[in-house]
Amino acid sequence: MTGKLYIIGLGPGDINLRTTEVCQILPHLTDLVGYAPYVERIETTSTVRRHVSDNRQELERARHALTLAEQGHIVGVISSGDAGIFAMASTVFEAIETGNPLWKQLEIIVLPGLSAMFAAAARLGAPLGHDFCAISLSDNLKPWDVILRRLRLAAEGDFVMALYNPVSRSRPWQLDAAFDLLRSLLPTSITVAFAHAISQDDENIHLTTLAEASAKMADMRTLIIIGSRYSRLIPREKAKLPWFYTPRSIKEN
- Average pLDDT, 10 consecutive residues per value, the chain (253 residues): 92 95 95 94 89 88 97 97 96 96 96 97 97 96 96 98 94 96 97 96 96 96 97 90 94 69
**Alpha-carbon distance 152 to 178, whole Å?**
9
pTM: 0.93
pLDDT of the residue at 54: 82
pLDDT of the residue at 253: 59
Residue 125's contacts (CB-CB under 8 Å, 6 or more residues apart) are: 234, 243, 244, 245
Q: Where are the domains of the chain?
A: 4-114, 117-245
Residue 53's contacts (CB-CB under 8 Å, 6 or more residues apart) are: 33, 34, 35, 36, 60, 61, 64
**Alpha-carbon distance 206 to 18, whole Å?**
25
pLDDT of the residue at 55: 76
**Alpha-carbon distance 54 to 38, whole Å?**
11
Where does 117-245 sit in CATH, by number?
A: 3.30.950.10
CATH ID of 4-114, from 3.90.1150.10, 3.40.190.10, 3.90.470.20, 3.40.1010.10: 3.40.1010.10
**Alpha-carbon distance 149 to 239, whole Å?**
39
**Alpha-carbon distance 242 to 78, whole Å?**
35
Contact at 8 Å (CB) between 33 and 3?
A: no
Give the Å distances, CA to CA, from 8 to 34, 165, 184, 199: 10, 19, 39, 18
Same CATH fold, 117-245 and 4-114?
Answer: no
